[in-house]
């Protein structure tokens, strides 16, 4: 009810184009990132890494390294043998390899020295003996060769996880269809490549028996738990502090080797130990986009309405669990959020391979399937002679619906988003009338505003905020919301400022310190604006209540007439009757004592009860649509993306500048994935772990970006503000692929759609074959029979004959 | 072989005892405590270590400290004057041209170098100026806007 | 952070002093100009010279002289940015201006030198990697690490006996097409030679000069109506090396007949590939459809890239004729 009231009021700061609260520190070079920190007596740590993709680790000899003057300590897997993983069911990683290495670059030893040169010199002297094992470098190879297993757990062979679910009856659904189409798509692996390499500074206090770790990380809470487990400490003995972070995108969410090792080395030496990864090592840390093969089969009526859909996903997980179980399920969750799919089957498998582990990257498991689906629907529309946009419109979900896979959609601006980009791009007038080589492509997508389930099961809040008003009128907010560039600090400050009638830069923020700030699960699944925002909103409203009570009493004004605005609290009917914020704070402190409030947030309970139903639910979903315009060169296969129109259902933009920035950044990352980024391997080695070889787009590749922010009413979000950090990326990748197809009349059903592949598709066409490059078959694999999940009542009722 | 090197950084003279193999990047960050200059690869590929040497952008990870004796080095810490941000810095904040902030010191410096040389740059010149620094957050869109906004601010200040 | 290995830095003040140092120190020393190629390779331990002979203090290597009518002399210590900024280069020797413009990125233009660009190390995706990576590979012929060179194969062509690292600089193809010569100064004297003779068809010993010889000058002949262009094929608009570089220079009669022609490809061999056959095919012809088609066939046959750069071998072979044709068409108009 409170949110509904707020919406009617005049907005002071929400919706305004204000500078971000951490802008001045960053632009002046004052913002401190982890590698900027030094402590007295600090040692420099270095990891020694495996040169084999798969091998038994026979021995690791530290003697020669330890003899180098200035080397203070060195460890191997035997010193930190506890298994851990950010995912409860995982628990398959150790800080250093114990008896087996599973990818080139996996750490096998760590040492600490008085200066970085000594550390590097000594690292060269660590003697490692390997007994090579056959390495499986892609999914097919790993499935074909179940022995020797990469891990000793998992259903069988190199299979890590399986999912097999059916909502309704797909065979019946296909039987009803007038047309059934099946397509294969391969989405290649890629990585986050944040500008700031990972870094951790650990300091063990032997007297207090307390470990403090400063680290460039997105999820201090999960790391906190993981470090305690890995190091055999109680959680209260560990403190995680996150300084400024130079980009994460999901790549800094795991529990990392360098973090545990820096901590262990500090515990052994009693001195601070810092480990900062080189750029090459960042590619080995990875935890990026799973390479994924998808098979989608859809049945439609003649008019385009979907009757059934079957999605099969094959995920190449790399060497360890990471967030893999969630990634696997995410491959199936979002399709029914954009389109009404009466009968839906999702089956997926995650397979281990001998490469750096894959994990969550912007979109986390949804981009691959979304891309495959949007390309598939384009082809379906061709089969039916329908405009691709029209096909979507005939199947769209709407607001306040329960999907066939039991996900609750509240606000839904997808139709408005589609209409916006269609109109702005001139789609209806131009598509089909452009000269050969120029094309328009369309796609839409949906994403979560925060995962409804936490990584480990608990019934506690997902986010808590403390707020303090001091007698100078200063407001301090304590939150574990972790600023990674996405603007979480500004979002929290904006919400609190709005409630208290202040400006965002009036709010002091204490963030991401497990000793000082109450829980927040972390910056992932785009949860911060909604979840931390709601908790902050609650804390701020409680503080405002105290202030209003005190002012009402002092000034004898009816409480219901008080407003907080422009750093004052005053009678809305007689604005000159009021007090400055600072005065109000003093009155309130005199009246009530310490002005400290808190707020918390717990997402709604999930509605599904099937296995895996914990992945997919969200308090609210965002929706995006995209039209991309490309100019392709049929002689060289080069594709230039000239213009991208993106419309995003943001609910309400807390700060449009920051929201636009996220959309534009998403376009950049989507472009990279669509056309040139590839975490590729050759001869068991990463093909190019550098900025030169890993192709992040430069300024010259960027198209013109035209952004539309669509507003919808989202009662579950603070001031209706939903996410924007991940949603927009999802529709841009397939829009580009569909645009290439429109431009050249050939299909590249693979990401990245490089010039080589485009040229190959054109060549196939010239030779009279299908102008297509892409997978032609799935590996021989049998999924277990699906768990049959009854559909929600609304679907059964809708299916009843009238 | 260590040698005392006189470095002029942000208008201040420093004397550091460093061997020839220490780069300007390392000396700035580790000997002079000027950590505003960032590092993302140390191979001259990402551009975030950019500083100005005699007003021109240079990748500090590929400059030997010994070789900048007698030259003027400007880092991001040297842009503000009298406690006020440089107009380029202000433009970046107001345009929303930074998110994680890691490329920002480099972006701000290449912008200053451009506008000192070309007060009214074309779109092409702006793109060229920032082409040496990667950004993973913004997609460069607001950075390009910020450069033009900074150019306008500087012209107005001069008028 | 990747850091340099220790070395001694020598700072001669004359070219004579520099060449003397290089002659005395032999393979333990390397000349240091802009450092944009040498220093990264040292950080990755591909090269570990114990002495760096800095060329930065050598005033004899700065500046330029001449004109398009007389011919241009560009000294090797000019930065790429300085070369690109010269009106004479931009108006009369366009291939050079265009090559420099697409070289690496604008910041590196101000650091890298003309001489350094011409002497840039050959490149290979198996070679331009860190020490750890190359150890995991098992080293390679060009950088054998702790193994002895004879026992380590070339990873691109393991059955062969030579290194296939690629000449990927932009300056060399452009200048060769323009008919440039270079002056080398060594401890024992100096010599002038056509630029193409500086390069050898070998990934390891890719320069035909002794270690003490320095490139001091690039000599461009009078422009005399020369039309020239340089096209670079790379995945992105900045930073990337050429997977293919096309330098074309020709003179046309008033009626469009080619009177002289040079075509040089970079990025496809261990040295810039001078396409003599194509050039002689074009002389006396006009740049019409049928002639260009024959050129395409010749180019396709002449180009044999190896799988050690960006883009697949097949792609580079397929598109080389396209880019050559486009370069020639650009010059015809």
Report CA torsion sign: A450, A455, A460, A462.
negative
Work out how many domains chain B is built from and give that number.
Answer: 2
Looking at the predicted structure, is the pLDDT value of residue A2 above 90?
no
Contact A522, A222 (CB under 8 A): yes
Tokens 């700030």 found at: A517
Please tell me the distance in Å from B99's CA to the nearest CA on chain C: 23
- Which residue of B lies nearest to C109 if distances are taken between CA atoms? B58
Tokens of A206: 């032997």
Contact C236, C311 (CB under 8 A): no
| pLDDT tens-place string over residues B107-120 | 999 999 999 999 99
A163: buried, middle or exposed (CB in 10 Å: 19+, 13-18, 0-12)?
buried
Report CA torsion sign: B133, B136, B138, B140.
positive
Q: Give how far Cα A47 sits from Cα of A147, A284, A714, Å.
A: 30, 12, 47
Report CA torsion sign: C106, C110, C112, C115.
positive
Omega prior to B91 cis, within 30 of 0: no
* CATH code, C1-123+165-333: 3.30.465.10
* CATH code, A2-31+460-601: 3.30.365.10
pLDDT for position A11: 79
Please tell me the distance in Å from C291's CA to the nearest CA on chain B: 36
User: Which element (helix H / strand E) includes A202?
Assistant: strand A199-205
Q: How many CA atoms lie within 13 A of A4 on its CB side?
A: 1
Out of B53, B78, B103, a domain closes at B78
Contact A267, A211 (CB under 8 A): yes
- Which residue of A lies nearest to B101 if distances are taken between CA atoms? A26
A660–B96 CB contact, under 8 Å: yes
What residues in C contact A755, CB-CB < 8 Å? 235, 311, 315
What residues in A contact C322, CB-CB < 8 Å? 635-636
Q: Give how far Cα C185 sits from Cα of A509, C120, C181, C189, C213, Å.
A: 64, 18, 13, 6, 5
Contact A351, A278 (CB under 8 A): no
Q: A20 CB contacts (<8 Å, ≥6 apart)?
A: A487, A489, A490, A655, A657, A658, B93, B96, B98
What residues in B contact A487, CB-CB < 8 Å? 99
Report CA torsion sign: A392, A395, A400, A406.
negative
- Which residue of A lies nearest to B28 if distances are taken between CA atoms? A36
**Helix B141-158 and helix A656-675, axial crossing angle in degrees, nearest 10:** 130
Cβ neighbours of A785 (radius 10 Å): 9
State chain B's mean pLDDT as an integer: 97
CA–CA distance, A223 with C27 (Å, rounded to integer): 50
Q: Are residues B93 and B73 in the same domain?
A: no
pLDDT for position A3: 36
Contact A321, A85 (CB under 8 A): yes
CA–CA distance, C40 with B46 (Å, rounded to integer): 13
CA–CA distance, A436 with A745 (Å, rounded to integer): 9
Report CA torsion sign: B147, B148, B151, B157.
negative
Looking at the predicted structure, is the pLDDT value of residue B43 above 50?
yes
User: Which element (helix H / strand E) includes A657?
Assistant: helix A656-675
CA–CA distance, A17 with A689 (Å, rounded to integer): 38
Name the 3-class secondary structure at A679.
Answer: coil
B134–A698 CB contact, under 8 Å: yes
Q: Are residues B148 and B100 in the same domain?
A: yes
Name the 3-class secondary structure at A693.
Answer: coil
Q: CB distance from A678 to chain B under 8 Å?
A: no
Omega prior to A653 cis, within 30 of 0: no
Q: Are residues B97 and B63 in the same domain?
A: no
CA–CA distance, C319 with A615 (Å, rounded to integer): 46
User: Which element (helix H / strand E) includes A120?
Assistant: helix A116-124
C237–A700 CB contact, under 8 Å: yes
Q: CB distance from C133 to chain A under 8 Å?
A: yes
Q: Are residues B45 and B96 in the same domain?
A: no
What residues in A contact B103, CB-CB < 8 Å? 195
| pLDDT tens-place string over residues A350-404 | 999 999 999 999 999 999 999 999 999 999 999 999 999 999 999 999 999 999 9
Tokens of A477: 């907010």
Looking at the predicted structure, is the pLDDT value of residue A8 above 70?
no
Q: B12 CB contacts (<8 Å, ≥6 apart)?
A: none
Looking at the predicted structure, is the pLDDT value of residue A66 above 70?
yes
Report the DSSP beta bridge partners of residue A314: A293, A349
A700–C236 CB contact, under 8 Å: yes
pLDDT for position A801: 64
Looking at the predicted structure, is the pLDDT value of residue A7 above 50?
no
- Kindly indicate whether the domain formed by A163-191+288-453+608-787 is annotated with CATH number 1.10.3720.10: no
| pLDDT tens-place string over residues A72-82 | 999 999 999 99
Name the 3-class secondary structure at B60.
Answer: helix
- Nearest CB neighbour to B43, from listed C9, C40, C54: C40
Q: Which residues of C, range 43-62, sit inside 8 Å of B by Cβ?
A: 43-44, 52, 54, 56
| Residue A515, Ramachandran bin (φ over 0: left; ψ between -120 and 50: alpha; else beta) | alpha
| pLDDT tens-place string over residues A263-282 | 999 999 999 999 999 999 99
Query: H-type helices in chain B, by residue range?
Result: 24-26, 87-95, 104-117, 123-130, 141-158
- Reading chain C (333 residues) residue by residue, the pLDDT tens digits are 999 999 999 999 999 999 999 999 999 999 999 999 999 999 999 999 999 999 998 999 999 999 999 999 999 999 999 999 999 999 999 999 999 999 888 999 999 999 999 999 999 999 999 999 999 999 999 999 999 988 999 999 999 999 999 999 999 999 999 999 999 999 999 999 999 999 999 999 999 999 999 999 999 999 999 999 999 999 999 999 999 999 999 999 999 999 999 999 999 999 999 999 998 999 999 999 999 999 999 999 999 999 999 999 999 999 999 999 999 999 998
| pLDDT tens-place string over residues A314-326 | 999 999 999 999 9
Contact B88, B33 (CB under 8 A): no
Contact C203, C197 (CB under 8 A): no
A116–C133 CB contact, under 8 Å: no
Q: Are residues B122 and B146 in the same domain?
A: yes
- Which residue of B lies nearest to A247 if distances are taken between CA atoms? B100
CA–CA distance, A50 with A469 (Å, rounded to integer): 52
What is the pLDDT averaged over residues A149-165?
Answer: 97
What residues in C contact B131, CB-CB < 8 Å? 105-106, 237-238
CA–CA distance, A708 with A625 (Å, rounded to integer): 10
User: Which element (helix H / strand E) includes A284?
Assistant: helix A279-285
Q: CB distance from A692 to chain C under 8 Å?
A: yes
CA–CA distance, A665 with A661 (Å, rounded to integer): 6
pLDDT for position A458: 87
B37–A29 CB contact, under 8 Å: yes
Tokens of A39: 């402590």
Name all chains with 3 or more CB-CB pairs below 8 Å to chain A: B, C
Cβ neighbours of A1 (radius 10 Å): 6
Q: Could you write out the three-class secondary structure of A535-558? A: HHHHHHHHHHHHHHHHHHHHHCCC
Question: Among candidates C70, C66, C64, which has minimal Cα distance to C222?
Answer: C70
Looking at the predicted structure, is the pLDDT value of residue A425 above 50?
yes
- Which residue of B lies nearest to C105 if distances are taken between CA atoms? B132
C311–A756 CB contact, under 8 Å: yes
- Which residue of A lies nearest to B41 if distances are taken between CA atoms? A279
* CATH code, A34-133+197-245+252-285: 3.90.1170.50
| pLDDT tens-place string over residues A560-580 | 999 999 999 999 999 999 999
Looking at the predicted structure, is the pLDDT value of residue A688 above 60?
yes
Q: How many residues does chain B have?
A: 159
Query: pLDDT exceeding 90 applies to what percent of chain A?
Result: 96
CA–CA distance, A775 with A790 (Å, rounded to integer): 33
CA–CA distance, A64 with A475 (Å, rounded to integer): 55
Q: CB distance from C314 to chain A under 8 Å?
A: yes
Q: CB distance from C280 to chain A under 8 Å?
A: no
Cα A615 from chain centre: 13
Report the DSSP beta bridge partners of residue A641: A630
C239–A692 CB contact, under 8 Å: yes
B42–C2 CB contact, under 8 Å: yes
pLDDT for position C42: 98
C238–A691 CB contact, under 8 Å: no
pLDDT for position A1: 27
Q: How many residues does chain C have?
A: 333
Report domain extents, chain A. 2-31+460-601, 34-133+197-245+252-285, 163-191+288-453+608-787
List, in sequence order, every beta strand (DSSP E) within A374-413: 401-402, 408-409
| pLDDT tens-place string over residues A241-259 | 999 999 999 999 999 999 9
Please report which confidence band the pLDDT of residue A6 belongs to, taking 50, 70 and 90 as the band edges. very low
What residues in C contact A700, CB-CB < 8 Å? 236-238
Fill in the DSSP letter of residue A708.
E
Tokens of C78: 């000019």
First to last CA, chain B: 52
CA–CA distance, B154 with C13 (Å, rounded to integer): 41
Q: Are residues B50 and B70 in the same domain?
A: yes
CB pairs under 8 A between A and C: 76
- Which residue of C138, C315, C316, C322 to mutate against A (max A Cβ within 10 Å)? C315
**Helix A727-744 and helix A656-675, axial crossing angle in degrees, nearest 10:** 50
CA–CA distance, B124 with B127 (Å, rounded to integer): 5
Question: Among candidates A190, A144, A410, A427, which has minimal Cα distance to A289?
Answer: A190
Name the 3-class secondary structure at A401.
Answer: strand
Q: Containing domain of residue B37, as a range?
A: 3-78
List, in sequence order, every beta strand (DSSP E) within A592-670: 596-601, 621-632, 639-651
CA–CA distance, C295 with A610 (Å, rounded to integer): 66
State chain A's mean pLDDT as an integer: 96
Greatest Cα pair distance, chain C, in angstroms, is 62
Tokens 């054109």 found at: A762
| A163-191+288-453+608-787 matches A34-133+197-245+252-285 in CATH topology | no
What residues in B contact A668, CB-CB < 8 Å? 136, 138-140
CATH number at residue B99: 1.10.150.120
Please tell me the distance in Å from B134's CA to the nearest CA on chain C: 10
- Nearest CB neighbour to C3, from listed A116, A685, A759: A116
What residues in A contact B35, CB-CB < 8 Å? 29, 32, 35-36
């Amino acid at each position: 009810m409170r949110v509904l009231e707020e919406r009617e009021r005049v907005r002071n700061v929400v919706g305004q184009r204000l500078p971000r609260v951490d802008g001045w520190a960053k632009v002046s070079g004052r913002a401190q990132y982890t590698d900027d920190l030094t402590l007295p007596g600090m040692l420099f740590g270095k990891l020694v890494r495996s040169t084999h993709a798969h091998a038994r680790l026979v021995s690791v000899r530290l003697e020669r390294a330890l003899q180098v003057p200035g080397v203070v300590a060195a460890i191997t897997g035997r010193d930190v043998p506890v298994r851990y993983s950010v995912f409860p069911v995982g628990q398959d990683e150790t800080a250093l390899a114990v008896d087996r290495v599973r990818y080139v670059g996996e750490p096998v030893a760590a040492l600490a020295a008085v200066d970085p040169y000594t550390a590097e010199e000594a690292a060269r002297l660590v003697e490692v003996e390997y007994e090579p094992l056959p390495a499986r470098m892609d999914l097919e190879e790993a499935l074909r060769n179940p022995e020797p297993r990469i891990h000793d757990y998992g259903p069988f062979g190199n299979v890590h996880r399986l999912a097999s679910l059916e909502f309704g009856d797909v065979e019946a659904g296909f039987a009803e269809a007038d047309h059934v189409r099946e397509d294969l798509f391969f989405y290649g692996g890629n990585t986050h490549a944040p500008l700031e390499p990972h870094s951790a500074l650990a300091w063990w206090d032997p007297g207090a028996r307390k470990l403090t770790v400063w680290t460039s990380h997105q999820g201090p809470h999960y790391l906190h738990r993981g470090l305690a487990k890995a190091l055999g400490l109680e959680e209260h003995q560990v403190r995680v502090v996150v300084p400024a972070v130079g980009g994460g995108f999901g790549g800094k969410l795991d529990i990392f080797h360098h973090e545990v090792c820096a901590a262990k080395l500090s515990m052994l030496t009693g001195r601070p130990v810092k480990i900062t990864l080189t750029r090459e090592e960042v590619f080995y840390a990875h935890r990026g986009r799973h390479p994924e093969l998808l098979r989608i089969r859809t049945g439609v009526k003649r008019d385009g309405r979907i009757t059934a859909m079957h999605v099969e996903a094959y995920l190449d997980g790399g060497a360890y669990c990471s967030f893999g179980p969630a990634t696997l399920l995410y491959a199936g969750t979002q399709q029914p959020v954009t389109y009404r799919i009466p009968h839906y089957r999702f089956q997926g498998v995650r397979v281990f391979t001998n490469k750096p582990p894959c994990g969550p990257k912007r979109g986390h498991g949804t981009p691959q399937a979304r891309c495959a689906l949007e390309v598939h629907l384009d082809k379906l529309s061709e089969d039916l002679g329908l405009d691709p946009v029209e096909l979507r419109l005939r199947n769209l979900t709407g607001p306040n619906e329960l999907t066939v896979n039991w996900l609750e959609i509240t606000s839904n601006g997808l139709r408005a988003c589609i209409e916006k980009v269609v109109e702005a791009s001139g789609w209806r007038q131009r598509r089909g009338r452009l000269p050969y080589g120029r094309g328009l492509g369309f796609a839409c997508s949906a994403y979560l505003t925060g995962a409804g389930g936490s990584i480990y099961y608990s019934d506690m809040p997902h986010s808590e905020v403390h707020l303090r008003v001091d007698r100078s009128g200063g407001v301090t907010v304590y939150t574990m919301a972790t600023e990674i560039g996405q603007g979480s600090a500004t979002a929290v400050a904006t919400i609190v400022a709005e409630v208290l009638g202040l400006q965002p830069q009036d709010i002091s923020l204490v963030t991401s310190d497990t000793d000082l700030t109450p829980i927040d699960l972390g910056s992932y699944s785009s949860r911060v604006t909604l979840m931390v925002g709601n908790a902050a909103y609650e804390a701020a409203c409680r503080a405002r209540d105290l202030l209003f009570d005190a002012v009402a009493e002092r000034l004898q004004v009816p409480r219901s007439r008080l407003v907080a605005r422009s750093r004052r609290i005053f009678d809305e009917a007689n604005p000159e009757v009021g007090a400055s914020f600072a005065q109000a704070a003093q009155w309130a402190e005199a009246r009530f004592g310490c002005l400290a409030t808190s707020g918390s947030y717990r997402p709604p309970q999930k509605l599904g009860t099937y296995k895996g139903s914990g992945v997919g639910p969200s308090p609210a979903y965002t929706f995006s649509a995209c039209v991309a315009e490309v100019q392709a060169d049929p002689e060289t296969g080069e594709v230039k993306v000239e213009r991208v129109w993106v419309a995003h259902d943001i609910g309400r933009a807390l700060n449009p500048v920051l929201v636009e920035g996220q959309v534009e950044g998403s376009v950049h990352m989507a472009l990279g994935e669509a056309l040139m980024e590839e975490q590729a391997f050759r001869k068991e080695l990463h093909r190019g772990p550098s900025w030169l070889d890993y192709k992040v787009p430069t300024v010259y590749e960027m198209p013109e970006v035209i952004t539309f922010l669509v507003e919808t009413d989202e009662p579950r979000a603070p001031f209706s503000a939903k996410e924007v950090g991940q949603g927009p990326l999802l529709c841009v990748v397939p829009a580009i692929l569909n645009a290439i197809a429109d431009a050249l009349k050939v299909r590249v059903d693979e990401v990245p759609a490089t010039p080589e592949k485009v040229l190959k598709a054109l060549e196939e066409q010239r030779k009279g074959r299908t102008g297509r490059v892409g997978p032609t078959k799935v590996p021989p694999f049998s999924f277990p029979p699906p768990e049959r999940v009854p559909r929600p009542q609304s679907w059964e009722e809708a299916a009843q004959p009238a | 072989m260590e040698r005392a090197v006189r470095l002029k950084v942000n208008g201040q003279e420093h004397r550091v005892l460093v061997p020839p193999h220490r780069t300007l990047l390392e000396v700035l960050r580790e000997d002079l405590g000027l950590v505003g200059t960032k590092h993302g690869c140390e191979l001259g590929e990402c551009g975030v270590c950019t500083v100005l040497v005699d007003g021109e952008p240079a990748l500090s990870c590929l400059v030997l400290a010994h070789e900048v004796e007698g030259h003027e080095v400007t880092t991001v810490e040297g842009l503000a004057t009298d406690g006020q941000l440089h107009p380029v810095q202000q433009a970046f904040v107001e345009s929303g041209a930074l998110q994680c902030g890691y490329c920002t010191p480099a972006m701000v410096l290449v912008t200053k170098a451009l506008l000192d040389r070309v007060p009214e740059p074309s779109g092409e010149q702006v793109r060229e100026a920032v082409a040496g620094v990667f950004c993973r957050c913004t997609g460069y869109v607001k950075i390009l806007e910020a450069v033009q906004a900074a150019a306008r601010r500087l012209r107005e200040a001069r008028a | 952070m990747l850091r340099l290995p220790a070395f001694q830095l020598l700072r001669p003040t004359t070219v004579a002093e520099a060449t003397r140092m290089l002659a005395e120190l032999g393979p333990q020393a390397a000349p240091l100009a802009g450092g944009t190629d040498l220093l990264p390779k040292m950080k990755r331990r591909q090269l570990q010279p114990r002495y760096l002979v800095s060329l930065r203090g050598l005033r004899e290597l700065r500046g330029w002289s001449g004109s398009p009518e007389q011919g241009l002399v560009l000294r090797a210590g000019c930065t790429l940015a300085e070369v690109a900024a010269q009106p004479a280069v931009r108006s009369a020797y366009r291939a050079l201006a265009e090559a420099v413009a697409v070289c690496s990125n604008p910041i590196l233009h101000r650091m890298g030198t003309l001489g350094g660009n011409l002497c840039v190390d050959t490149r290979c995706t198996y070679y331009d990697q860190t020490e750890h990576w190359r150890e995991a590979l098992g080293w390679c012929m060009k950088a054998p690490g702790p193994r002895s060179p004879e026992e380590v194969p070339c990873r691109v062509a393991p059955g062969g006996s030579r290194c296939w690292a690629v000449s990927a600089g932009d300056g060399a193809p452009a200048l060769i097409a323009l008919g440039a010569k270079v002056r080398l100064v060594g401890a024992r004297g100096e010599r002038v030679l056509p630029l193409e003779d500086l390069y050898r068809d070998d990934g390891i010993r890719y320069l035909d000069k002794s270690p003490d010889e320095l490139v001091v000058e690039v000599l461009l002949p009078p422009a005399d109506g020369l039309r020239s262009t340089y096209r670079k094929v790379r995945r992105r608009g900045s930073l990337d090396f050429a997977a293919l570089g096309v330098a074309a220079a020709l003179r046309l009669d008033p009626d469009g007949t080619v009177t002289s022609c040079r075509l040089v490809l970079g990025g496809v061999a261990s040295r810039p590939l001078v396409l003599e056959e194509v050039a002689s095919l074009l002389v006396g012809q006009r740049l019409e459809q049928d002639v260009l088609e024959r050129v395409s066939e010749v180019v396709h046959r002449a180009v044999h890239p190896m799988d050690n750069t960006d883009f697949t071998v097949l792609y580079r072979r397929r598109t080389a004729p396209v880019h050559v044709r486009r370069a020639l068409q650009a010059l015809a108009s």
